[in-house]
Amino acid sequence: GQQVMQIPQYQHVQEGEDFTTYCNSSTTLSNIQWYKQRPGGHPVFLIQLVKSGEVKKQKRLTFQFGEAKKNSSLHITATQTTDVGTYFCAGRAGGTSYGKLTFGQGTILTVHP
């Protein structure tokens, strides 16, 4: 079945440093979504990418979808303590019934002030 691998599993940064998490799928995706989960909370949708090579920005967050639609990345510029949490990518394969998502393992981000 479809697998989505996400690295790194953990990332510790000093406040102000940049952060990147990478996501790779074993199959071509129709779209990919990113979610953020604050400590003790539930996943919350951040963004969806659909087109090959797509780049979207949300303030200090930059999301990319690879040309082959099998990989994606999330980059945070100048991290802040409010960025702490787990970031998940979640991919949908083409023709997936019910809009099922396959989640990556997540990257746990710690930001030291």
Partner 1 sequence: DAGITQSPRYKITETGRQVTLMCHQTWSHSYMFWYRQDLGHGLRLIYYSAAADITDKGEVPDGYVVSRSKTENFPLTLESATRSQTSVYFCASNLPGQGYEQYFGPGTRLTVT
Interface with partner 1 by CB under 8 A: which residues?
A: 1, 6, 9, 30-31, 33, 41-45, 48, 50, 88, 90, 92, 96-106
Buried b (16+ CB within 10 A) or exposed e, 41-67: eebeebeebeeeebebeeeebebbbbe
Nearest alpha carbon to residue 75 among 61, 85, 91, 89: 61
Nearest to 25 by CA among 38, 12, 6, 50: 6
Name the residue nearer to partner 1 (CB basis): 101 or 111: 101
- If the CB atoms of residues 19 and 88 are measured against partner 1, the closer one turns out to be 88
Q: How far is the CB of 51 from partner 1 (least distance, A)?
A: 12
Q: Which is nearer to partner 1, 2 or 77 (CB)?
A: 2
CB of 27 to partner 1, least distance (A): 14
Tell which residue, 34, 30, 32, 40, has the closest CA to residue 21.
34
Least distance from C-beta 78 to partner 1, angstroms? 26
User: Of 44 and 78, which has the nearer Cβ to partner 1?
Assistant: 44
Token pair 């023709």: residue? 95
